[in-house]
């Protein structure tokens, strides 16, 4: 009789423990409130409400990583804030003109900028989409995207941890109220439409999400020129002429364009049935067949490849096709890096300092070449589709956005020269402030928001703190106006800390002479320069004459300019430019963000400058 009673007691005790433990598990993770300051890593202790902050490498210590070491305190005290850096580099034009023309001063400034930018966030990245915790599998398997900040813990009271409502705003309502364009608002900086098309073509060399599993990418996570040369070696061979180191091309209306699909067996494209056979091009990246602007850039670089291949063949008559091709490919990669930094990134930065692609400035450092990983955050905030106008004005004709999908006639009918000049003279849309995305592109915003939520990105304010900026205290401070602020407050339950990364980045008020708000500019600067300077082409082992076929090839790379290449590969030498100087006026530069009456009443003036 005694043993059964003991057994019954044991069962009761064990059941009680199990119930208690189950109840503990149902309580939310204490890390949901992000108690670890200065981005220490929070770890829950068992099933309790206790946690431990891992402060290693942060420069802080204490139970919540709240106290700076003397070395960290001195460093942070002396290091200029993002606002100071932005102010200094966008003012004092005469001073920067002197710096740009004194080589040792310019190189010193560039070296400082690069050593800060390309090492933020730190690498190798510990967080990725493989798991909510650090794994070797996630590090070793580069098909997973990286995360700058760890995902919000599961089973938190709210999607942002403890901030905001228990449920995020309905995506459809959010997109309609915050992103939909009611009237086209041009970029106050006079940015040309060709600028976002270049950004799209450049970033899609690294942004290659596997749609069946959004955590993963099918790419190499670096700039690989796949839009020209294909995804695999077999793709590359199918696209090559296999003679003189050249790529296959075809003649349309007297101009060279990428080859026809039938001429490249093995290349898999994704054309819908409505695309006529004669307009089915074989491209390295299937996405580049979707829009005429992307076909434009594929054609641009294919022509440059064949031009350079001719130079290499003449310079090295003893080389076979394979060597000419491989060396030319390296030259095109080098040219891409140089014009991207010195023209595209230069325009986006808005700085008076002339940015230069000089990887040798990092050759004396421990810079980890060829270690790039694409961050989900980078991919997310690069959806700048609010910069796309309602139509493309090419030559003497307007094309709606819907008319351009898988339709290459805007490029083929008018030619490369007209397309270049038209896209260089048409204003892009305003990127900051929200409410400026064409209805035809709203699915882009919907998709970005779904992805944000799927990987449980932290809030916009958390990323501001990561970028060394104070979190916004109100929606008015974020947007610089009252109408949109009221809309956002209603959607996010009045809690500014609940605003999602993608939303915050695109509704933030424009900062001074920039295209976007200061948070996006600060965050994107490191990601962009990382993508460029992590490429092995700039390493000490590659950045040398022998890599590029000698002095002639190396000079092609080091002297490359966007306008120069356009002049050489497009008949008529059109002027390719990312900014339209004559379009900038004081009225447009101070254009109000809340200039559309949404029936909410009179709003306060937009604060365009801080």
Kindly report the number of other CB atoms within 10 A of residue 498's CB atom: 24
Task: Name the phi and psi angles at 337, rounded to 5.
Answer: -60, -45
DSSP-based helix, strand, coil % in the chain, nearest 5: 50, 10, 45
As for how many domains the chain has, the answer is 1
Q: Identify the three-state secondary structure at position 19.
A: helix
Report if residue 579 sits inside a domain: no
| Secondary element (H or E) of residue 51 | strand 51-54
Kindly report the number of other CB atoms within 10 A of residue 13's CB atom: 10
Give the catalytic positions in this structure. Answer: 204, 382
Candidates 500, 505, 499; CA nearest to 518 is 505
Q: Which residue has the higher pLDDT, 123 or 250?
A: 250
End-to-end CA distance of the chain: 82
Q: What is the pLDDT of residues 1-33, one digit of tens each?
A: 333 443 444 444 434 433 333 344 457 889 999
Q: Which two tokens stand for residue 44?
A: 């829950």
CB 190 within 8 A of CB 583: yes
Task: Name the phi and psi angles at 412, rounded to 5.
Answer: -70, -40
**Strand bridging mode 60-61 / 67-68:** antiparallel
pLDDT band at 525 (very low <50, low <70, confident <90, very high): confident
In whole angstroms, give the CA distance from residue 449 to residue 463. Answer: 16
Report if residue 21 sits inside a domain: yes
Report if residue 317 sits inside a domain: no
Q: What residues pair up with 43 in beta bridges, in sequence order?
A: 52
User: How many residues in the chain?
Assistant: 610
Read off the pTM: 0.88
In whole angstroms, give the CA distance from residue 180 to residue 466. Answer: 29
pLDDT band at 588 (very low <50, low <70, confident <90, very high): very low
CB 249 within 8 A of CB 307: no
Report if residue 14 sits inside a domain: yes
Cα atoms in the 13 Å half-sphere on the side-chain side of 116: 17
CB 451 within 8 A of CB 496: no
Task: Name the phi and psi angles at 44, rounded to 5.
Answer: -75, 145
Q: Which residue has the higher pLDDT, 514 or 496?
A: 496
Q: What is 223-262 written as a DSSP string? A: ---HHHH-SSHHHHHHHB-SSTTPBP-EEETTEEEPPBGG
Report if residue 79 sits inside a domain: no
Q: Which two tokens stand for residue 244?
A: 């003189």
**pLDDT score for 242:** 96
Report if residue 18 sits inside a domain: yes
Give the residue numbers spanning the domain of 23: 2-28
CB 557 within 8 A of CB 335: yes
Q: What is the pLDDT of residues 441-498, one digit of tens each?
A: 999 999 999 999 999 999 999 999 999 999 999 999 999 999 999 999 999 999 999 9
Candidates 569, 538, 142; CA nearest to 333 is 538
Report if residue 457 sits inside a domain: no
Report if residue 428 sits inside a domain: no
CB 389 within 8 A of CB 184: yes
Q: What is the pLDDT of residues 533-576, one digit of tens each?
A: 888 999 999 999 999 999 999 999 999 999 999 999 999 999 99
């Amino acid at each position: 009789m005694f043993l059964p009673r003991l057994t019954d007691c044991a069962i009761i005790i064990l059941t009680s423990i199990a119930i208690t433990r189950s109840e503990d598990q149902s309580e939310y993770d204490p890390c949901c409130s992000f108690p670890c300051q200065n981005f220490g890593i929070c770890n829950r202790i068992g099933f309790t409400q206790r946690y431990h902050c891992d402060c290693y490498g942060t420069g802080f210590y204490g139970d919540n990583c709240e106290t700076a070491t003397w070395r960290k305190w001195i460093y942070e005290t002396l290091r200029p804030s993002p606002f100071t850096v932005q102010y200094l580099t966008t003012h004092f034009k005469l001073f920067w003109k002197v710096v740009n023309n004194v080589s040792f001063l310019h190189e010193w400034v560039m070296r400082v900028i690069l050593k800060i930018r390309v090492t933020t966030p730190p690498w190798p990245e510990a967080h990725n989409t493989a798991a909510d915790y650090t794994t070797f599998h996630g590090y070793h398997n580069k098909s997973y995207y990286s995360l700058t900040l760890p995902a919000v813990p599961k089973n938190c009271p709210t999607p942002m941890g403890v901030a905001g409502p228990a449920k995020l705003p309905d995506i459809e309502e959010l997109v309609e109220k915050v992103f939909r364009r009611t009237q086209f608002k041009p970029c106050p900086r006079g940015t040309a439409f060709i600028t976002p098309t270049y950004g799209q073509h450049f970033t899609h060399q690294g942004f290659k999400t596997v749609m069946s599993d959004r955590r993963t990418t099918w790419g190499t996570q670096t700039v690989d020129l796949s839009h020209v040369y294909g995804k695999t070696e077999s793709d590359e061979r199918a696209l090559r002429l296999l003679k003189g180191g050249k790529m296959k091309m075809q003649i349309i209306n007297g101009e060279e364009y990428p080859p026809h699909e039938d001429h490249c067996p093995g290349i898999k494209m994704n054309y819908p049935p409505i695309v006529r056979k004669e307009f089915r091009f074989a491209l390295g990246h299937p996405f580049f067949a979707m829009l005429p602007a992307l076909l434009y850039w594929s054609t641009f670089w294919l022509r440059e490849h064949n031009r350079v291949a001719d130079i290499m063949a003449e310079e090295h008559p003893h080389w076979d096709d394979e060597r000419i091709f491989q060396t030319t490919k390296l030259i095109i990669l080098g040219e891409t890096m140089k014009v991207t930094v010195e023209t595209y990134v230069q325009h986006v930065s808005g700085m008076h300092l002339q940015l230069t692609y000089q990887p040798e400035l990092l050759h004396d450092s421990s810079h980890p070449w060829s270690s790039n990983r694409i961050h989900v955050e980078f991919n997310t905030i690069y959806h700048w589709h609010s910069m796309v106008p309602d139509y493309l004005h090419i030559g003497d004709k307007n094309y709606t956005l819907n008319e351009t999908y898988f339709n290459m006639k805007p490029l083929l009918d008018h030619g490369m020269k007209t397309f270049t000049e038209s896209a260089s003279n048409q204003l892009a849309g305003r990127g900051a402030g929200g409410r400026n995305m064409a209805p035809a592109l709203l699915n882009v915003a919907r998709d970005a928001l779904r992805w944000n939520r799927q990987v449980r990105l932290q809030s916009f304010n958390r990323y501001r703190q990561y970028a060394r900026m104070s979190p916004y205290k109100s929606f008015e401070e974020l947007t610089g106006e009252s109408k949109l602020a009221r809309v956002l407050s209603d959607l996010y339950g009045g809690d500014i800390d609940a605003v999602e990364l993608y939303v915050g980045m695109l509704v933030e008020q424009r900062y001074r002479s920039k295209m976007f708000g200061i948070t996006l500019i600060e965050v994107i600067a490191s990601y962009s320069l990382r993508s460029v300077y992590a490429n092995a082409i700039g390493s000490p082992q590659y950045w040398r004459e022998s890599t590029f076929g000698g002095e002639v090839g190396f000079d092609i790379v080091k002297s490359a300019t966007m306008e120069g290449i356009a002049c050489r590969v497009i008949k008529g030498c059109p002027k390719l430019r990312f900014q339209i100087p004559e379009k900038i006026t004081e009225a447009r530069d101070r254009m109000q963000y809340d200039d559309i009456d949404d029936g909410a009443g009179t709003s306060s003036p937009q604060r365009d400058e801080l």
